[in-house]
Amino acid sequence: MLEWNIEETDKFTRTFRKYEKKHGETAIATMTNFGSYMQLLSKGLNPLQISTSYVHDEKKGLIAVDQKKQKRKLRETRLYFYPDMDKKTVYLLIIGDKNSQQTDIKFCREQIKMLRSDYGKTA
């Protein structure tokens, strides 16, 4: 089993709290799917090759999990994250619904650029 760290961005923490209040069941279902993804990752699978019905490759290193796989019909949701293979860290970036999908993806790509540019720098 490989050990991966999980880091939340401030934006993820804020959006998740808000999302959880408004759509509790959906937030829980999405986090359950993220947990399943992390189990697969800990088995040594390449993060970009994990393929299930609830995992979406959003290109350029960005991955999303949704609320699917759960028994009830829930709000269409995406939890976006970036698995950094070199650092063995998964960065939780943001959670949102279909209405915010385009702006969420744009935000995430900017965050990934910043994370990649900081790689190797020391404070």
Domains of the chain: 5-118 (3.30.2310.20)
Decide: 43 and 35 in contact? Cβ < 8 Å.
no
pLDDT at 70: 61
What pLDDT is attached to residue 71? 63
Give the global pTM.
0.90
Contact present, 80 and 58 (Cβ < 8 Å) = yes
Residue 25's CB is within 10 A of a number of other CB atoms, namely 13
Per-residue model confidence as pLDDT tens digits over 27-68: 999 999 999 999 999 998 888 889 899 999 999 999 999 998
Chain mean position to CA 107: 13
Cα-Cα-Cα-Cα dihedral sign, residues 32, 35, 40, 41:
positive
pLDDT value, residue 63: 97
CA dist list (Å): 79 to 2, 92, 103, 123: 22, 8, 13, 29
The confidence score (pLDDT) of residue 73 equals: 78
User: What are 83-114's pLDDT values in tens digits?
Assistant: 999 999 999 999 999 899 999 999 999 999 99
Q: What pLDDT score was predicted for residue 11?
A: 95
DSSP state letters, the chain? ----EEEE-HHHHHHHHHHHHHSHHHHHHHHHHHHHHHHHHHTT--TTT---TTEEE-STT-EEE-STTSSS----EEEEEEEETTTTEEEEEEEEEGGGHHHHHHHHHHHHHHHHHHTT---
